[in-house]
Amino acid sequence: MQRKMQILFAIFVVTTGCQEVRYQAVPAYHTPYDSEWNRVKRCLAETAKLDYYRAPRTSVVWQLPTTTEQTGRGDCTALATVLYHRLLKSNVKDGRIVFGYYDGLWHAWVNWRGYILDPTMSPYPIKKDWGGYQPCWGYDMAGKYRYVATEVPS
């Protein structure tokens, strides 16, 4: 009986292991994620229209998202906070305000599902390769985070 089970298992492994499956992308008119993606792009584009000014790191003044929206201007921290607030109001999950450095200067942006949402740099999502972005701290509704650099295996 045990020998018969071993043979059946071996046949199963060989037949299922030999079947190569390849996936081909075919055009689709919509996906289940289109609605959320469109809300993200809309929130980012609206926030990018606000007037950005660079504030010295030593004089960063926190302001509420409503204040930034009323005045129509803010530094990177204010714009990232407005964007995060708009994402929450649009029922977009998984966003996080991130503080760190961009090209050596202290900066703030929003990270969302593998994308950098930076209303001070672009009205479009940036694919997260971090590029000149060096995250240090992050905040979302669940908590606060510290980013630690790790080496990527080759």
CB–CB of 133/145 below 8 Å? no
Say which DSSP state 104 is in: T
Percent of the chain at pLDDT > 90 equals: 56
pTM: 0.77
Q: Give the model confidence (pLDDT) of 47-56 as tens digits.
A: 999 999 887 7
121 vs 14: which has the higher pLDDT: 121
12 has pLDDT over 80: no
Helix (H, G, I), strand (E, B) or coil at 136: strand
Q: Give the model confidence (pLDDT) of 67-113 as tens digits.
A: 999 999 999 999 999 999 999 999 998 999 999 999 888 899 999 99
Q: Which domains does the chain have, with CATH numbers?
A: 34-146 (3.10.620.30)
| Average pLDDT across the chain, whole number | 85
145 has pLDDT over 70: yes
4 has pLDDT over 90: no
Rounded to an integer, the average pLDDT of 4-16 is: 55
Angle subtended by helix axes 34-48 and 76-89, to nearest 10: 150
9 has pLDDT over 70: no
CB–CB of 136/146 below 8 Å? yes
pLDDT of residue 42: 96
